[in-house]
Amino acid sequence: MMSAPIFVEVEWLSRMKDRQGICGDSVIASKYSQQQRNIVVLSDGLGSGVKAAILSKMTATMAEKFIASEIELPKALGVMMDALPVCLERKISYATYTIIDSTLNGETRVVEMGNPSFIFIRDGQEVECDTRELKFEEWQNRSIKISRFKTRPGDRIIMFSDGITQAGLGSEEHKLGWRRKGCVEFVKDQLAENPELSARVLVNRVIKQALRYEPGNLPHDDMSCAVVYYRRPRKLMIMTGPPFRESQDSYWASKYTGYQGSKIVCGGTTSNILARELKLDIKTELRSRAGLPAVSVMKGADLVTEGILTLTRVCSLLERGGEDGSPASEMIEHIKNHDIIDFCVGTKVNEAHQDPTLPADLDIRRNIIKKIAEILENKYLKEVRIEYI
């Protein structure tokens, strides 16, 4: 029997130390589709600010490349430690790191140096992993822990910088800080409430909770948390544009009704075609939101929006991050909550949009979708499939 495909949701969030202009932690996540492999690195640079940011970024980048290229681990880790610049104040080159390297068949290894130990959660409980320690002759004060285990659907790996576990340290209320133990309990409570909590929501909650421990809710150190969640994929279809031939309208409608997952309809003509073919009502709000046409409501759709202007905004928001309260932001929320994004793109061009007096934003739909797909695959590690018709 074939098992259902697994999706690896990877999310992370950082908060920089209060009164710093840059976060000294770095997280890098890469997906190697051909090998069905995900690599996530969280590195915490010595100190804070620019110096820490450079150290952690260098470390995370090197770690990701070395791990991906399958160079022997001790050799790769030795090169990394030799390569880091030495801190003039402390005379050490230092950036701690945690590396998760996992394949879709479950083979997973975690390499750790100096960060709080990762948490492996299965069925809502923390599970101990087989871990061995690696020592280096040249680096007596360092040891590296390597854990190997096999993941299965529903498992989560949580890693963080010490800014999280030490949140509140020295304060009246929490003299010892939140500690790793407190974080484990918090994660377990969150998952007991909602066993299918997404990685995205979990990282947000962990950071929020850590901030609650800090006096004045201000981070006294850089804080980062990354969550890797192995789960059955959540699918979202974004249907946009009328089919090139009108004779394919009914096929479009059957795709809409037959899709097993969430659905977004993006475009006036597209929604009209579906409404006509499936005898559905569309109700549209009159008020625009944040400079984009209003959303509509149609049975079976999680969101109905205008087409090209909204997609153009989606593209730019995905690129630069942030949200603006527009229907594009709403669409991005849906996208982020799903793992597989299926674009169904009708290729008929609305000639009215090609009028040279209209803004250049009215680009050809295919170009925008192509760009969005690239961003979703490379920056958000989504699996994207596109069907043109």
Partner 1 sequence: MHNKKIQIEICAGTTCFVLGSVQFESFEESLPAEWKDFVEVTASRCLGLCRKGKFSGAPYVRINSVPIGNATPEKVMEVIAEMLDLPEGLNDA
Asked whether 257 and 265 are in contact (CB, 8 A), the reply is no
Binding partner 1 (rule: CB under 8 A), the pick from 9, 155, 249, 306 is: 306
Binding partner 1 (rule: CB under 8 A), the pick from 176, 192, 218, 358 is: 358
Beta-sheet strand order (sheet of 125-126): 7-15, 223-231, 156-160, 119-122, 125-126
Site map for partner 1, 127-166, x if CB under 8 A?
Answer: ----------------------------------------
Nearer to partner 1, 184 or 294 (CB): 294
How many residues interact with partner 1 (rule CB under 8 A)? 27
327 lies in the binding site for partner 1 (CB under 8 A): no
320 lies in the binding site for partner 1 (CB under 8 A): no
Nearer to partner 1, 168 or 307 (CB): 307
Nearer to partner 1, 219 or 307 (CB): 307
The piece of 171-179, 198-206, 251-259, 356-364 that touches partner 1 (CB under 8 A) is: 356-364
Nearer to partner 1, 45 or 293 (CB): 293
The piece of 23-31, 181-189, 268-276, 313-321 that touches partner 1 (CB under 8 A) is: 268-276
Residue 234 backbone dihedrals phi, psi, to 5 degrees: -100, 125
The piece of 58-66, 81-89, 191-199, 262-270 that touches partner 1 (CB under 8 A) is: 262-270
Cα separation, 15 vs 23, whole angstroms: 7
**Strand pairing class (282-284; 303-305):** unpaired
The piece of 196-204, 254-262, 265-273, 332-340 that touches partner 1 (CB under 8 A) is: 265-273
Report CA-CA distances (Å) from 300 to 45, 92, 332, 336: 48, 59, 19, 20
Nearer to partner 1, 61 or 284 (CB): 284
307 lies in the binding site for partner 1 (CB under 8 A): yes
Region 276-305 residues binding partner 1, contact defined as CB under 8 A? 282, 284-288, 292-294, 296, 304
Token digits of residue 345: 């793109």
Nearer to partner 1, 168 or 268 (CB): 268
Cα separation, 367 vs 356, whole angstroms: 18
Binding partner 1 (rule: CB under 8 A), the pick from 234, 353, 366, 370 is: 353
Asked whether 224 and 59 are in contact (CB, 8 A), the reply is no
268 lies in the binding site for partner 1 (CB under 8 A): yes
| Cβ contacts of 186 within 8 Å, gap of 6 or more | 178, 205, 206, 209
Report CA-CA distances (Å) from 4 to 1, 105, 187, 234, 258: 9, 11, 27, 12, 19
Cα separation, 174 vs 71, whole angstroms: 43
CA angle at 159 for the pair 149 and 195, rounded to the nearest 5°: 75
350 lies in the binding site for partner 1 (CB under 8 A): yes
Binding partner 1 (rule: CB under 8 A), the pick from 130, 137, 172, 351 is: 351
Nearer to partner 1, 117 or 284 (CB): 284
70 — alpha (psi -120 to 50), left (phi > 0) or beta? left
366 lies in the binding site for partner 1 (CB under 8 A): no
> Which amino acid belongs to residue 151?
T
Shortest CB 252 distance to partner 1, Å: 15
Nearer to partner 1, 133 or 351 (CB): 351
DSSP assignment string, 73-103: HHHHHHHHHHHSPPPTTTS---EEEEEEEEE
Nearer to partner 1, 20 or 316 (CB): 316
DSSP assignment string, 155-222: -EEEEE-HHHHTTTTTSSS-TT-SHHHHHHHHHHHHHHH-TT--HHHHHHHHHHHHHHHSGGG--SS-
Nearer to partner 1, 208 or 299 (CB): 299
Asked whether 39 and 32 are in contact (CB, 8 A), the reply is yes
> Which amino acid belongs to residue 326?
S
Shortest CB 296 distance to partner 1, Å: 5
219 lies in the binding site for partner 1 (CB under 8 A): no
Q: Which parts of this chain interact with partner 1 (CB under 8 A)? A: 267-269, 271-272, 282, 284-288, 292-294, 296, 304, 306-309, 350-353, 358-359, 362
